[in-house]
Amino acid sequence: MFKKIFFVTALLLASLLSAKPVVIASIAPVGYLAKAVGGDKIEVQSLAKGDVHSYEPKPNDMKAVAKASLFIAAGLEFEEAWIPRFKASAKNLVVVQSDAKIAKLKEEHAGHGEHDEEHSGHDDHKAKDDKHSGHSGHAAKDKHADHKAKDDKHSGHAGHAEHDEKHEAHEEHDEEHEAHADPHVWLNPMLAITMARNISDALIAMDKANKDFYLKNFQKLMNDLLAFDESAKNELAGLKNRKFVVYHPAWGYFAEHYDLEQISIERNGKEPKIDEMASTVKMIKDENIKVIFADPNRSQKSAQVLASQTGAKVELLDPLGYNLLENLKIAVRAIKDANSPK
């Protein structure tokens, strides 16, 4: 009897000692980056699927978070509300911002070079395509470092007392827009490298014994993303028409990086109005747009209406697909095909 108890106890202890740290990613593509770096040393679970703007954790999500050692955030709205609750349910939970040191585009302007702030954080995140040795000294090369924020304040109201009330309303409107930065940074492969590096740093801080393992995996992931980026630049270089139409403006960082122009059907998170639809129909015809890219996580109704009125066809691009590298390849092929002469 004593031997049996000893044996069972030994098995339980061995199981506890060999248990992998649980890492929770807020969304699937961040989970992909975490798994690529963490490999078989960690267990990864992604939370929000589908429309992340309306995400609320299910009981099973809360149970998973309660067991987690690390939560990887990505700068999404729902995280602000739920991370404090996650930390309350898991006292030892460490939260890391995978989007740290990445300046954001404004969501309503995402796609062609307008920013909330100067990209000073990228001075430490420049990488040359032909020189990427080590871990701490490199980060993603991208075009954000030279861009400055556009000041969209309603300065014309200044000094006009009779417009105080309207001016205050405009300031509130500005603040609301400033708060809605575009979170889709993972769709720029250079920024995805920065995110992966932040994740690698967090895993090393949590599990120093496997530092070399995480560094090796990070290096491979970075090399894969850099190889993709070089290929993507070559594929997209010859496009004369560099505009593409999407329902939801998720592809702004991708568009900016590859010198494309994203045109969104959705306006500030809402279905377009009748007059906006009419102007979009005209633009699609004038620009000879052949494809409208819809988001599988959102309504495709407006995209289908526009397609029926313009002769364009609707195709799907998923900004939240798990396999980030493959998703980026799909996007490059789709946009190239849509904008190439037939």
Q: Could you tell me which residues come within 8 angstroms of residue 281 by beta carbon, excluding any fewer than 6 positions away?
A: 306, 309, 310
- Give the per-residue pLDDT at 171: 42
pTM for the full predicted model: 0.77
Gyration radius from the chain CA atoms:
23
Q: Could you tell me which residues come within 8 angstroms of residue 17 by beta carbon, excluding any fewer than 6 positions away?
A: none
- Give the per-residue pLDDT at 341: 80
Greatest C-alpha distance within the chain: 89
- Give the per-residue pLDDT at 180: 75
> Do 93 and 64 touch, CB atoms closer than 8 A?
no
Instruction: Report which of 312, 319, 277 is spatially closest to residue 296, judged by C-alpha positions.
Output: 319
**Cα 342 to Cα 336: distance, rounded to the nearest angstrom:** 11
- Give the per-residue pLDDT at 5: 56
In a structure prediction context, what are the per-residue pLDDT tens digits for the chain, which is 342 residues long? 555 555 545 444 444 444 899 999 999 999 999 999 999 999 999 999 877 877 899 999 999 999 999 999 999 999 999 999 999 988 899 999 999 999 999 875 444 433 333 333 333 334 433 333 334 334 434 433 333 333 343 334 434 433 444 444 444 444 444 447 899 999 999 999 999 999 999 999 999 999 999 999 999 999 999 999 999 999 999 899 999 999 999 999 999 999 999 999 987 777 888 888 899 999 999 999 999 999 998 888 889 999 999 999 999 999 999 999 999 999 999 999 999 886
- Give the per-residue pLDDT at 19: 81
Q: Which residue has the tokens 């302007």?
A: 109
- Give the per-residue pLDDT at 303: 93
